[in-house]
């Protein structure tokens, strides 16, 4: 047991230590582990929405697709990324940008709700269950993690490994941003 713990801690230390040269398999595992954090946060944030829509399928609207698509695409992107498919990188970049903009929107909503202290009568409790206040630090940490992973995935070494040329790099990032902004315009 002692040897097992020593082996695991040594492996994790080698993986996380930025001064050691890593092979691409280690980097992929590290990225996938880091991407699971925002995905799990996203799932926990959307749990109340999913519960409402499961109980009341007649309420399904375009906003439901905004929740379901990332829930489905994250695992698909992670698997394709691990299998070193170019489309896996593209899906993950798009989802990360969606997540980053979603965190910015959520932080803005949190600030607006704090400033304006909306009291909408009987719907206040429902709004609190759908949009529970998490605090600014929660959103800022999500933003920092998301941006760090996005910057890392956009590093030349990672892009070269997945054979992402400059045109694909710019097109993926710009089209993802435009798609998220268009989606917000439709929903908000």
Tell me the domain boundaries of the chain.
Answer: 24-187
d(CA 36, CA 186): 28
* Single pTM value for the model: 0.72
Give pLDDT, residue 17.
55
Give pLDDT, residue 145.
85
Give pLDDT, residue 32.
80
37 contact partners, CB below 8 Å, separation of at least 6:
145
Positions of the chain with pLDDT under 50 = none
Give pLDDT, residue 99.
85
């Amino acid at each position: 047991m002692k040897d097992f713990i020593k082996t695991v801690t040594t492996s994790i230390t080698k993986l996380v230590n930025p001064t050691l040269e890593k092979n691409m398999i280690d980097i992929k595992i590290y990225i996938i582990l880091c991407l699971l954090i925002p995905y799990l946060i996203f799932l926990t944030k959307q749990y109340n929405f999913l519960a409402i829509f499961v109980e009341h399928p007649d309420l399904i609207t375009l906003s439901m697709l905004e929740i379901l698509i990332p829930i489905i695409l994250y695992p698909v992107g992670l698997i394709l990324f691990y299998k070193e498919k170019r489309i896996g990188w593209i899906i993950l970049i798009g989802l990360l940008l969606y997540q980053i903009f979603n965190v910015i929107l959520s932080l803005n909503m949190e600030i607006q709700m704090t400033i304006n202290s909306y009291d909408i009568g009987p719907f206040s409790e429902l709004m609190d269950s759908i949009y529970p206040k998490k605090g600014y630090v929660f959103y800022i940490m999500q933003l920092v993690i998301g941006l760090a992973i996005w910057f890392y995935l956009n590093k030349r070494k990672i892009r070269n490994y997945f054979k992402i040329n400059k045109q694909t790099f710019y097109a993926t990032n710009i089209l993802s941003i435009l798609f998220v902004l268009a989606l917000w315009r439709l929903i908000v």
